[in-house]
Amino acid sequence: MRPFFTLAGKLLRDSRWSLIFSALALFALGWLFVHVASLNETRILKTLSAAPGEKARAFRWMRDMGLEDAPSSTAIMMAFWNHPFIVLVVAIWAIGRGAGAVGAEIERGSLDLVLSRPISRWSYLAAQAMVATAGLLAIAGSLAAGALLASWYNVLRVPPDGLELVRPALNLAALGFSIYGYTLLFSSIDLVRWRPTMIGSVLTLGGFIARVIALIPIFKDAVWRPWAERFSIFSLYNPVDAVTGREVYSFDVTVLTALGASCVGLAFLFFTTRDLPANG
């Protein structure tokens, strides 16, 4: 097992700066969103504790805002987790690791040196997948950690507990895993880095745009809208549902994970049976 862990350690060292940067960025965002949620709640509570006439007006205003059901602090906070920057950070990590696993190594010529040692292609790709998945969990986990830590320092009506934040974090990691899966699949059959990067980016961006368009109210009755939604992996990323305990959460995470695992499985199949020609 030493060769496997030697390789995994090297991959982790090589990607440490992008991992640390991504994790810190999401940690800060997690903190920021709690702070914003806290400011909002404080403002609402302040309005409610004002004069009686003011109170009535505040209730009317809350109804207008659709806040009659008084969602939990965490659910409000989770609305921010749909922010494109969060998805962007996860997607960059997933696409970077996926495209870099095979195509980039062949392009650089460094795969020869590694695979000329007694390490199987299966072990090589397993080490790549393990580091990428661990990175995704760390990045998503740092978002949750930032939010949890911030909840100790910011006033929230109902502060989240740690376990409550695990579910949306897992949903985010599963989203990243599916992006990693299809990028790795294209990388496993390629000789260069740019092509799987481009395909992974186009698929991811296309999925995101499809999701955004499907949510625009004027397209509510369009016949293609359900298809646009169905074919976008982003419709399976619902952090608010994850904390409100809706059943769809398990479905979302399962489908995203299964999609990623299927693509990774196919990547193993292609990579272990393909030719590795000299490059450069």
Partner 1 sequence: MNPALIIAENLTKFYGDSPALRDLTLEIRRGEIFGLLGPNGSGKTTAIRLLLGFLRPTAGRASVAGFDCWRRGVEVRRLVSYMPGELRISGSMTGFGVLDFLSGLRDGDGLDRAVAIAETVMGLDLGRKVRKYSTGMKQKLALALAFADPTEILILDEPTSALDPSARADVLQLIREAREQGQTIIFSGHVLSEIEAVCDRVAILRRGRLVHVEDMAARRRLRMLLARFSGDTLPPIPEELELSIRRPEGTAWLFEHRGALGPLLHWLAAVDVQDVAIGTEDLRALYDQYHGPGAADDEDGAGNEDEEPSP
What are the residues binding partner 1 (CB under 8 A)? 2-3, 6-7, 10, 14, 108-110, 112-121, 191, 273, 275-278, 280
| Count of CB atoms situated within 10 Å of the CB of 53 | 8
**Which CB atom, from 112 or from 229, has the smaller least distance to partner 1?**
112
Q: Is 217 exposed, middle or buried (0-12, 13-18, 19+ CB in 10 A)?
A: exposed
CB of residue 195 to partner 1, shortest distance in Å: 15
Cβ proximity to partner 1: between 149 and 191 the closer is: 191
Taking the complex as a whole, the smallest distance from the CB of residue 10 to partner 1 amounts, in Å, to 5
Of residues 245 and 277, the one with the C-beta less far from partner 1: 277
Angle, helices 162-188/121-153, rounded to nearest 10 degrees: 150
Q: Are 109 and 66 in contact (CB under 8 A)?
A: no
Q: Return the number of the residue (217 or 280) whose C-beta is nearest partner 1.
A: 280
Residue 211 CB, shortest distance to partner 1, in Å, is 37
Q: Report residue 210 as tokens.
A: 């499809």
On the CB side of 280, how many CA atoms lie within 13 Å of its CA?
A: 10
SS (H, E, C) 235-260: HHCCHHHHHHCCCHHHHHHHHHHHHH
Cβ-based nearer residue to partner 1, 65 or 273 = 273
Closest approach, Cβ 1 to partner 1, in A, equals 10
Task: Provide, rounded to whole angstroms, the least separation between the CB of residue 193 and partner 1.
Answer: 14
- In this complex, which beta carbon is closest to partner 1, that of residue 21 or of residue 59? 21
Between CA 35 and CA 33 the distance in angstroms is 5
Question: 172 and 237 in contact (C-beta within 8 Å)?
Answer: yes
Which tokens belong to 45? 């509570």
Question: In angstroms, what is the minimal distance from the CB of 191 to partner 1?
Answer: 7
Give the amino acid at 11: L
Between CA 156 and CA 153 the distance in angstroms is: 9
> Which bin fits 205, alpha (ψ -120 to 50), beta or left (φ > 0)?
alpha
We find the least distance from the C-beta atom of residue 92 to partner 1, in angstroms, to be 20
